Amino acid sequence: MTRFLKAAGYAVGLPAILLTAWWFGSANSTDPFWPPLSTIIETFPTTWTWDRIVADVFPSLARLGIGFGIAVVVGIVLGTAIGLSPTLRALSEPVLEFFRAVPPPVLVPIIALFAGYTGWLGKIITIALGCLWPILLNTVEGVRGLEPVLGDTARSYHLSRWRRLVFVVLPGASPRIFTGARQALSIGVILMVISELFGANRGLGAAIVQFQRSFAIPQMWTGVILLGLIGVLLAAVFKVVENRMLAWYLGQRQIERGE
Amino acid sequence: MSITTHLTSRLKADAPAAAPRDQAVALDLRAVQKTYDTPGRPQVEAIRHLDFSIRKGELVCVVGPSGAGKTTLLRSIAGLLDLTAGEVVLDGTVVTGPPQGMAVVFQEYGRSLFPWMTVRQNVELPLKEKGLDKAARREKVNRALEEVGLTEASEQHPWQLSGGMQQRVAIARAIAFEPTVLLMDEPFAAVDAQTRAELEDLVRSLWKHLGVTVLFVTHDIDEAVYLGERVIVLSNRPTVLMEDVNVDLPVERDQLTTRSHPRFGELRGHVYSLIQRAKRGDRPDAPMPGSHGATEA
């Protein structure tokens, strides 16, 4: 229990200090662009009403979820294929390096041309494409880095292709896949916002831009804070899933390091 | 507590005390040759010529100086490596890939077990491939785990166990597979001396009760003489057969009496001197000086 409190103290400590500094630093501010934190917090409940959350936040999160989900599936499937086949790897390596070097936000105008930017399609494509590369490349590395003795074991027990994939290759690559997915998630959140800055319709990012354009500055700040809170929440959910699925890996690593 | 006595009493009920020994050949190596020939790398002749056979139900040890191509030999027999010339025949069939009736226990126990599976799942996976139903798998897994004394650890993950116990899991997986030939590649090289002695006795008792043919590769002369009915001594690289030593020790062996048996000392000394000769480069196939490397297949 004391350990839990200690951990909670560490987790909350720095944010508390920063908020206090912000609170007192902005307390007597008359600058319209830097409203006092107290004003921002007062504005929060009136700005983010349930209706607004349903209309702006949920669609954004849904697009993030769909885009991220597509990237996970496509990244793992393609990454496994490339990781297992030297021919495919030789063929795709230069192309992958090229696409990895292109910053995902650059794709927004191009995607807008083909898929349009008022609907969901263009936004989902942007998020999925941005999230794809870290997952794909990490899956390739994870599959390639599989312990050779495990491969020999699978072969000498005649495990079928399918069983080798499901019971050996994918679990063996899963720590790297999770590393990729974690990177992809933060890229996804960024792209979720960026993809809404161009289109005129609703969404969390679009709402923030609209507040800014209509000089609703405290409301704009609440949007930024909400975005941060969503990021923290997503990271926590990711951690829970990872702890569950990689329990064997985390446990093994702990023992190898001597607790 | 002794796993061996426990095993004996249990197994007597449902199996004959000693499986019948057959004179038929289980594993036959015919003029096996292996040269590593990777483009861009120097050619390495690992095995020059090996010709020996193992009868059904035999326990044969292979020893050789370090670098004698023991692992190459084992991987060739296991069908994990293509031969340059010659053939390995298992139960009358030429080995071209990992053969059906063979199970391998690798040296790197920590890396041959699937860390994401429990002990039970590790042992069970090859049985799934055999198409056994759930009840049959369960029964075979339970029996194999009991035979190696790991019933209690069945729901743990391999990395939660000690090195010796991990190697027991690998052995359980191999015997649950019910191979006709069990290959073991220096399986106890990385465990401490006490555990090693226990595992040696486990191999002897499993071999006796299950009637499986065992080919045991080791660099340890004592271990080879203690375990084997025969000890095949390899030369230095490129490998040929130095001598096929028959171990005429009693079938019932135990760490204390067998190792202090005068015959054990003689055999050990004999194999030791063979290995020393092999290390110096003394080899039966060396009629001309400097013959390494350039010989044709």
Q: What CATH number is given to the structural domain containing A66?
A: 1.10.3720.10
| Residue B152 domain flag | no
More confident residue, A111 or A60: A60
Per-chain mean pLDDT for chain B: 83
The burial class, CB within 10 Å (0-12 / 13-18 / 19+), for B138 is: middle
| Residue A14 domain flag | no
Q: Measure the CA–CA gap between B126 and B129, rounded to whole angstroms.
A: 5
User: What pLDDT, on a 0 to 100 scale, did the predictor assign at position A96?
Assistant: 87
Among B88, B99, B26, B15, residue whose Cα is nearest residue B60: B26
Q: Is the pLDDT confidence value at B292 over 50?
A: no
User: What pLDDT, on a 0 to 100 scale, did the predictor assign at position B13?
Assistant: 39
| Residue A5 domain flag | no
* Chain A CB contacts of B181 below 8 Å: none
Name the residue in chain A with its Cα closest to that of B113.
A150
Inter-chain touch B125–A157, beta carbons under 8 Å: yes
Among B132, B51, B127, B42, residue whose Cα is nearest residue B87: B51
Inter-chain touch A155–B160, beta carbons under 8 Å: no
Which two tokens mark B183?
């290959």
Inter-chain touch A147–B159, beta carbons under 8 Å: no
Q: Is the pLDDT confidence value at B22 over 70?
A: no
Which two tokens mark A173?
């690559």
Strand spans (E) along B40-147: 44-55, 59-63, 85-90, 93-94, 102-105
A156, A164, A248: which to substitute to probe chain B, counting the most B Cβ within 10 Å?
A: A156
User: What pLDDT, on a 0 to 100 scale, did the predictor assign at position B296?
Assistant: 41
User: What pLDDT, on a 0 to 100 scale, did the predictor assign at position A15?
Assistant: 85
Report the SS3 class of residue B246. strand
Inter-chain touch B157–A163, beta carbons under 8 Å: no
> Which of A37-41, A181-185, B154-158 is least confident?
A37-41
Per-chain mean pLDDT for chain A: 88
| Residue B134 domain flag | no
**Residue A257 to chain B, least CA–CA distance (Å):** 12
Q: Are B79 and B99 in contact (CB under 8 A)?
A: yes
Give the count of Cβ contacts less than 8 A between chain A and B. 69
Q: Does A93 lie at the interface with B, CB-CB under 8 angstroms?
A: no
> By residue range, what is the domain housing residue B58?
3-15+23-101+179-280
| Residue B146 domain flag | no
| Residue B252 domain flag | yes
Pairing of strands B230-234, B59-63: parallel
For chain B, what is the domain count?
Answer: 1
pLDDT band at A200 (very low <50, low <70, confident <90, very high): low
Q: Is the pLDDT confidence value at B11 over 90?
A: no
> Of the candidates A152, A153, A171, which has its C-beta nearest B116's C-beta?
A171
| Residue B62 domain flag | yes
| Residue B167 domain flag | no
Q: What is the mean pLDDT of residues A195-219?
A: 83
Q: Measure the CA–CA gap between B80 and B98, rounded to whole angstroms.
A: 6
> By residue range, what is the domain housing residue A80?
50-256
> Of the candidates B97, B102, B114, which has its C-beta nearest A150's C-beta?
B114
Residue B50's DSSP bridge partners are B32
Inter-chain touch B125–A159, beta carbons under 8 Å: yes
Exposure pattern of B178-196 as b/e (b: 16+ CB <10 Å)? bbbbbbbbbbbbbbeeebb
For chain A, what is the domain count?
Answer: 1
Inter-chain touch A153–B159, beta carbons under 8 Å: no
> Of the candidates A149, A174, A256, which has its C-beta nearest B106's C-beta?
A149
ipTM above 0.90, yes or no: no
The burial class, CB within 10 Å (0-12 / 13-18 / 19+), for A30 is: exposed
Total residues belonging to chain A: 259
Alpha-carbon distance values, A171 to A68, A72, A148, A165, A241 (Å)? 20, 15, 14, 9, 15
More confident residue, A192 or A104: A192
**Which percentage of chain B shows pLDDT scores above 90?**
31
Place of tokens 């229990």: A1
User: What pLDDT, on a 0 to 100 scale, did the predictor assign at position B286?
Assistant: 58
| Residue A17 domain flag | no
Q: Is the pLDDT confidence value at A1 over 80?
A: no
pLDDT band at B295 (very low <50, low <70, confident <90, very high): very low
> Of the candidates B97, B100, B106, which has its C-beta nearest A153's C-beta?
B106
* Chain B CB contacts of A147 below 8 Å: 111
**Which percentage of chain A shows pLDDT scores above 70?**
98
User: What pLDDT, on a 0 to 100 scale, did the predictor assign at position B93?
Assistant: 85
Which two tokens mark A63?
């697009």
pLDDT band at B41 (very low <50, low <70, confident <90, very high): confident
Alpha-carbon distance values, B294 to A73, B40, B240, B285 (Å)? 53, 18, 15, 14
Dihedral of CA atoms B17, B20, B25, B28 in degrees, nearest 10, equals 0
CATH code at B34? 3.40.50.300
| Residue B201 domain flag | yes
pLDDT band at A122 (very low <50, low <70, confident <90, very high): confident
Question: Could you read off the pLDDT of B104-158 as tens digits, one per residue?
Answer: 998 887 789 999 999 999 999 999 988 889 999 999 999 999 988 889 999 999 9
User: What pLDDT, on a 0 to 100 scale, did the predictor assign at position A53?
Assistant: 87
| Residue B229 domain flag | yes
